[in-house]
Amino acid sequence: MSNSLHPETLALHAGHRKDSATNAVAVPIYQTTSYQFDSTDHAENLFALKELGNIYSRIMNPTCDVLEQRMTAIEGGVAALAVGSGQAASSFCILNLCKAGDNFVCSTDIYGGTWNLFANTLKDLGIECRFVDPSDPENFRKVTDAKTRCYYAETLPNPKLNVFPIKQVADIGRSLGVPLIMDNTAAPLLCRPFDHGAAVVMYSTTKYIGGHGTSIGGLVIDGGNFDWEAGGDKFPTLNQPDPSYHGAVWTEAVKPLGPIAYILRMRVILLRDMGAPMSPMNAFNFIQGLETLALRMRAHCENAARVADFLNTHAKVSHVIYPGLQSGATKATADAHMAGGYGGLVGFELAGGKPAGKTFIDSLQLLYHVANIGDARSLAIHPASTTHSQLSAEEQAQAGVTPGYVRLSIGIEHIDDILADLGQALDKV
C-alpha cells in the first residue's frame, strides 16, 4: 500500500487488505496470547530478532499490528507501538530515553494526568521534568543541559488551547541534539507533527481515534527522522549495549530493519518488562474508529467553530477560548500547524464565576458532563470544581482555569441541537 495516499484513504486501507488465513476484509480480532513456532530454529530466530514475527501478545499481536501500521502511514512515520493507555504511552516515551539522573523538558500546557506522571512519579524514579512556558520557544533551550534527553509537549493543549510551536521547538531541539516528542491526542489528521520536525508522536487513542468512548488505549509512533547515533552518550538506552538483550546496541541492531531503534527498544524492552499492551479487542475498536476519523474530525471542527461564534456574541459569556478566535502570534502558530480546522475543543468563561459554571453544567440536557474529550458526543466540564479542584487558585490561574471557565468537547450531533442545549443552559445562569 502506497503511503502517498491521502490520510482519509490510509485510515481505511493501510496495513491490511485481507486476512492472510481467511481472506476476511474486516481486521480480525486475534484474541490469542501466543503463537505456535514452526520449529526450534524459527523460535530461536524470533527470540534473537533475526526474524520478526509473533511470539507472545504482551509484545506483539496481529490486530494491534494493523492499528500500528495504519497510524504509522497516516502520520508519515516508520513504525509504531500500541499500548494499554495514553498514560502508558507517555510513560514509555520518557522511560525509553531517560534513566535516573537524567532530565527532560516539558511544556507547562499539558494534561493533568501527564503532569502528575512527570512531576511526581518520574521524579520518584530519579528523572527530572523541567517545566517551561511554551509561549517563548527559547525557554526550552534555556533549561537544556548535557543530561537533557528529550522535549515533550501537546499539540492542542486544553484548557488554554494555544497550539504548541512545534516547528520552533523541534528546530531548537535538533540544533542541540534533543528530540521533540508530541502528544497529538487532540489533533489527529489536523496536524502531523513529523511534518514540523517532531521525532516521536504519541496518542491517547481513547479520545478521537476511538471516537466512541468505548476503549482506553495509547500509541507511540517513531518518525525515524532523528539521528540517535549522532547523540552518542546522550542516548545510552539506544547506543550502549543492553545487558537485558545479549548486549544488543539498538541503533546497531536495527540497521537491516530501518531507522526504528527508538520504537523497537520500546517494544522489546519496556513492553516486555513493564507490560501494558493494548488488548486486541481494543485495537479492533480503534481500527473501527479510524475508519471514520476523517469524517468525524471535519464535523467536530465545523461544529466547534459554530459553537465558538455562538458563545462569542452571548451576553453571559465574557471570553471564548478557541484557536480560530485568537489573534497575533498565537493565531499564527495555530495556522502554521493546524490544517483543515482548529479541532473540537472550545473553552469559555462565564461572567458569573464558579456558581455560574456549576449552574451551567447542571442545566445541560444534551451535552454529557464527563471528564473526557474527543467523543462523538458533545461533552462539558467545569474544571475549577472537578479536574483542577485540587490545585490552588494560583495554580489554577497558571493552568488557564479561572473560576467561571467551562470546557466543551464538541461532538458531531446536529449543530442546531448543540446550540439549543448550550443556549437553554446559559439562560439558567
Q: Which stretches of the chain bind ligand PLP, using CB under 6 A?
A: 85-87, 111, 113-114, 154, 183, 185-186, 204, 206, 216, 218, 373
- Which CB sits closer to ligand PLP, 260 or 304? 304
CB of 388 to ligand PLP, least distance (A): 13
CB of 306 to ligand PLP, least distance (A): 23
- What are the residues whose beta carbons fall under 8 Å from the beta carbon of 239, sequence distance 6 or more? 228, 229, 231, 232, 233, 249, 250, 251
Please return the burial class of 17, using the count of CB atoms within 10 Å of its CB with bins 0-12, 13-18 and 19+.
Answer: exposed
CB of 180 to ligand PLP, least distance (A): 16
Cα torsion 72, 78, 84, 90: sign: negative
- Which CB sits closer to ligand PLP, 363 or 385? 385
- Which CB sits closer to ligand PLP, 111 or 228? 111
What DSSP string runs through 387-414? TTTTS-HHHHHHTT--TTEEEEE--SS-
CB of 206 to ligand PLP, least distance (A): 4
CB atoms inside a 10 Å sphere around CB 312: 15
CB of 418 to ligand PLP, least distance (A): 21
**What do you get for the CA distance between the two ends of the chain, in Å?**
54
Residue closest to ligand PLP, measured at CB: 86
Picking from 142, 160, 159, 140, the residue whose alpha carbon sits closest to that of residue 151 is: 140
Secondary structure, 3-state, 282-329:
HHHHHHHHHHCHHHHHHHHHHHHHHHHHHHHCCCCEEEEECHHHCCHH
Give the HSE-up count for residue 81: Cα atoms under 13 Å, Cβ half-sphere.
34
CB of 428 to ligand PLP, least distance (A): 28
CA separation for the pair 247, 93 (Å, rounded): 22
- Which CB sits closer to ligand PLP, 46 or 381? 381
- Which CB sits closer to ligand PLP, 144 or 285? 285
- Which CB sits closer to ligand PLP, 218 or 231? 218
- Which CB sits closer to ligand PLP, 373 or 399? 373
- Which CB sits closer to ligand PLP, 173 or 218? 218
Query: What are the CA-CA distances from residue 117 to residues 122, 358, 404, 427 (Å)?
Result: 6, 29, 27, 39
CB of 216 to ligand PLP, least distance (A): 5
CB of 188 to ligand PLP, least distance (A): 11
